[in-house]
Amino acid sequence: MNLFSRKSVVPPPSLSPQPSISNAATAGPEAFANNSAYGRGFFEPGAYSVALKRCENGHDLAQQLADMFEERAQLESVYTNQLRAWSRKWHTELVKSQEYGTNKKVWDQTATAGEQMAEVHGALSSSLTDSLIPKLRQWRKDNYEKSLIHYKKTKEFEKEFIDAQKSWSKLLDKISDYKSTYYAACKAAKLADDAERSASEEQRRKLADKAEVARREVGSAKAKYEQAVNEAREQRPRYESAMKEVFERTQAFEKKRLDFFKETFEEFSKILETATEDNPTLKKMNDDYKTNITAHDSNEDLSWWDQNYGTQTNNRWPEYEEYRD
């Protein structure tokens, strides 16, 4: 039998079998629901570990974002150098060619256009390398200070969760022990009753006292079990409040990350805007990017996380369960 009662958890809607790259990226936090902690009550013993894992993930995600922009900067730099090499090559070829007049002049300008386009891509690479990437790496360093194996912020949250859950965990252990004692007493009493009923008249007198003692032990064990469950009901509001206080601090820490990422995306959009302002196709690309940034809502993301991993999840709370054979 279970120590706890629990509501059923509705699974998240399944994702389409073959989403496009865009759909896969915008599938949202639901993809994170593959996490084994999905649907587990946050207030259950040790379940807060998912909040600690999110803190640890924040450092890795900041690293991934910096790596992504660094790759983009390198790509832009390589393309810049290739364009410049291409431009120099064809200027040289044209000097040696037999072409002449206005046609030669336009041809030369065609090669010059490669140098001008290289300036655009070179500026994009420099903006990423000189401003955006160092800022992102410094932010990660400032917010994820390491202490031996773990990050200091994670250890701080872990200690607060352990302190908030300490007395509750002891109470759950007590309920479990009293429940086991009660069930064992019920089983022993049933065996004593069965032995008394099946015994001879002479044996029955001897077994009657044992059966009576066993029944008294059942009553005593049941009273302790019920009392412990009632104690849990009384302590639950205080326990939930203490856990929520720590949880909200982890939410605030995560919001800081989400908001900084949004600022980073906005800075990248401005870099793109400078590089693409005179090109309708590239301007639309950047407009679409800015539209997605506008839809970025850290509060919405945190609310989703709370509902699926935090304080709004279905939790198992202690309830009295009668013994059954």
Q: Residue 85 sits in a domain of what CATH number?
A: 1.20.1270.60
Cβ pair 232, 178 in contact under 8 A: no
Residue 280 — very low, low, confident or very high, per pLDDT cuts 50/70/90?
A: confident
The model's confidence at residue 3, banded by pLDDT at 50, 70 and 90, is very low
Assigned domain for 1 exists: no
pTM above 0.85, yes or no: no
For the cut 80, the answer to whether the pLDDT of residue 63 exceeds it is: yes
Name the DSSP letter for residue 17. Answer: S
Contact between 58 and 121 (Cβ < 8 Å)? no
**Gap between the Cα atoms of 105 and 99, Å rounded:** 9
**Residue 173 resides in a domain:** yes
Report the range of poorest mean pLDDT among 71-80, 114-123, 160-169.
Answer: 114-123
Instruction: Kindly state whether residue 243 falls inside one of the protein's structural domains.
Output: yes
pLDDT at 257: 95
CB contact set of 141 (below 8 Å; sequence gap of 6+): none
Dig out the tokens for 278 from the structure: 């005179």
Higher pLDDT, 111 or 8: 111
Q: Is 25 part of a structural domain of the chain?
A: no
Is 300 among the domain residues?
Answer: no
Q: What are the tokens at 35?
A: 């996490």
The answer to whether position 308 is within a domain reads no
Mean pLDDT, range 29-40, rounded to an integer: 55
Who has greater pLDDT, 277 or 242? 242
**Could you tell me if residue 210 is inside a domain?**
yes
- Which amino acid makes up residue 208? A
- On whether residue 19 sits in a domain, the answer given is no
Number of domains the chain is built from: 1
Average pLDDT over residues 121-148: 91
Q: Name, in order, each residue with C-beta under 8 angstroms of 35's C-beta and a sequence gap of 6 or more.
A: 50, 309
pLDDT value of residue 39: 61
pLDDT, position 26? 43
User: Domain residues for 285?
Assistant: 50-293
pLDDT of residue 2: 40
